[in-house]
Chain A
């Protein structure tokens, strides 16, 4: 499983990420063409359906990221492997980014549809609460401690947070009197047809590719920064030992 460095490639890229990167760019161009040009406005939603082509992929990717964080956290506490700790943290960061975008897109959609940026709409509320939950996760990871404590503490938060997702969903749905079951993908309108449906799924696919590409890079950055920290530690140890030679 060890990808050693090909000499020509710099930074955190590898042949696999290059392919993913190219696919992402092609995909985004195709998404612009299909989502903004080819596909028609919706009968019910009007032009606002075009926001869904951004909204649905970002929220789906964010939830996928948090599931990875949760699974990574469980495996980290079980196996204590650096890989899962760093993967969990990388996924959480990307998840927070996409969750932030989801909230922003939701507000844009709200402004058009309701005339206001914010309404106590269940999805928006749930997303915001969970967004802050995962900001807490990232804040905890940024507090300097030793690797093991950082890993343990953030894994616990990763697990607590993912258990909280369905509970928060249910609570907020019922709170707003929304009693029918709804999934993450419920915003993909089942009435969508033809190029609309195609654009929706194209958006989902493209963002999944982007997510994979980002996650690989982000993980490698995390991995490298641990190695760099190891070098920093060696220097710190040398400095610490030198304290003795003065006296």
Chain B
């Protein structure tokens, strides 16, 4: 059941360049006592856009949460942005951005309050937050609306804005295209391409192969807690 390394990793090793952004080796991660990751190997070079593809429950979300330093790796090794997560699990948190299934927002706060809170929590300013909302195309009329009354797509834009304002080096996106309308998906693709162009790395999970595949440089299949 050992899986060969994906081809790009070999070519990476031959050419001296920056450390890979993500490097999981036989990583095991538990949710409760369930091994959500069962010896997962994954390598993502910096600047890459990688799509994790797989059915529900394959472990895609856990890969993202492991890379964010939110779920510990109990066996194997995990390095993200040069940080050894088995030694310093939280060392990478401030440098990554995660847009998960749940929005990671406060439903009772307004769009602006959420965006400003998370920007300030990362040491940024009010105007950084407003710029990010602007960049994500969140209409001004929505600014004073409580997040819980937004549609799924609008909420996703706010989550992206909260992440974007922090300028993370590694973007971890769970089903980023779901819930978005066609024009928003185009915007998102453009955003991801621009982010990768600016040196950020994007790791996203999706079971929607048709769409997310377009922007991804490389697709990795995940099933049964391992990459295949």
Contacts and interface: CB of A to CB of B under 8 A. Distances in A.
Interface of A: 144-148, 229, 232-233, 236-238, 240-245, 247
A241 B72 contact: no
B33 A144 contact: yes
Contacts of B72: 146, 148
Interface SS of A by simple majority: helix
Contacts, number: 53
A146 B33 contact: yes
B56 to A, nearest CB: 12
Contacts of B20: none
A247 B224 CA distance: 10
Nearest to A146: B30
Contact of A240 (B32, B74, B225, B228): B225
A244 B226 contact: yes
A244 B74 contact: no
Given A146-B72, A147-B74, A148-B72, A241 B32 contact: no
Interface in B16-55: 28, 30-36, 38-39, 55
5 contacts: A148-B72, A236-B33, A237-B225, A240-B225, A244-B224
A244 B228 contact: yes
B226 A241 contact: yes
Given A148-B72, A243-B223, A244-B228, A237 B32 contact: no
B88 to A, nearest CB: 12
Q: Classify chain B's interface size.
A: 10 to 19
4 closest A-B pairs by beta carbon, nearest first, are A244-B224, A243-B224, A244-B223, A240-B38
Contact of B39 (A148, A229, A241): A241
Given A147-B74, A244-B228, A236 B223 contact: no
A241 B31 CA distance: 15
Given A243-B223, A244-B226, A244-B228, A237 B39 contact: yes
Interface string B136-162: 000000000000000000000000000
Given A146-B74, A147-B74, A148-B74, A241 B30 contact: no
A214 B223 CA distance: 46
A244 to B, nearest CB: 3
Nearest to B31: A146
Contacts of A247: 55, 223
B15 interface: no
Given A237-B35, A240-B38, A244-B228, 4 more contacts: A237-B39, A240-B35, A240-B225, A245-B224
Contact of A236 (B1, B34, B55, B226): B34
B28 A237 contact: yes
Nearest to B89: A148
A76 to B, nearest CB: 15
A82 to B, nearest CB: 12
A145 B31 CA distance: 7
Contact of A145 (B32, B39, B224): B32
A240 B33 CA distance: 12
Contacts of B228: 244
A108 B39 CA distance: 57
Contacts of B39: 237, 241
A240 B30 contact: no
Nearest to A229: B33
A167 B223 CA distance: 53
A81 B72 CA distance: 16
Interface in B87-109: none
B33 A241 contact: no
A77 to B, nearest CB: 14
B65 to A, nearest CB: 13
